[in-house]
Amino acid sequence: MDDKARVERATFAAGCFWGVESTFRRIEGVLATMVGYTGGTKSKPTYRQVCSGKTGHAEAVEIVFDPARVRYEQLLDVFWQCHDPTQLNRQGPDTGTNYRSAIFYHSDAQREAAETGKRRRAESKEYRGRTIVTQIVPATTFWRAEESHQQYFEKCGRSYCTERQVWE
């Protein structure tokens, strides 16, 4: 396989997917992003269904990246920085299991990197003794969200959710 054609996927849930997607889109080596729903049981869920909390899905971002230009560990660093992984089923004003913190790994290497990163952060003083509640689970079917949610900030501005500026 040609190195130029080699891409990988990463999937993260870190609260409102609009801000998370916007954060990852700015990273060199990220080739594409898509917001959607994963980790639940309902096929082809809608935004309203996911927000009801009855689907088990999280709002998530699927990232296609070139590992020759950005390492998965660098994406993990951005994931940890762009939300508070100690908040259970919430980020900022958004509450519910659909706003949980989760890493959906696509390979054993991604699982190991995620577990190592979580352990290192838990051992650091970064969260002042608070427990990291981030789930690290296998990636399952990723359901693309409605078109109105894709690249939301580019379409509608940043008035709804705030994002931490971590990669500028």
16 is catalytic: yes
What string of pLDDT tens digits covers the 168 residues of the chain?
444 569 999 999 999 888 899 899 999 999 999 999 999 999 999 999 999 999 999 999 999 999 999 999 999 999 999 999 999 999 988 899 999 999 999 999 999 999 999 999 999 988 888 999 999 999 999 999 887 777 766 766 654 444 433 322
Burial class of residue 15, CB neighbours in 10 A (0-12, 13-18, 19+): buried
Residue ranges of domains in the chain, CATH in brackets: 3-156 (3.30.1060.10)
Contact 90, 127 (CB under 8 A): no
Instruction: State the catalytic residue, choosing from 16, 51, 82, 161.
Output: 16
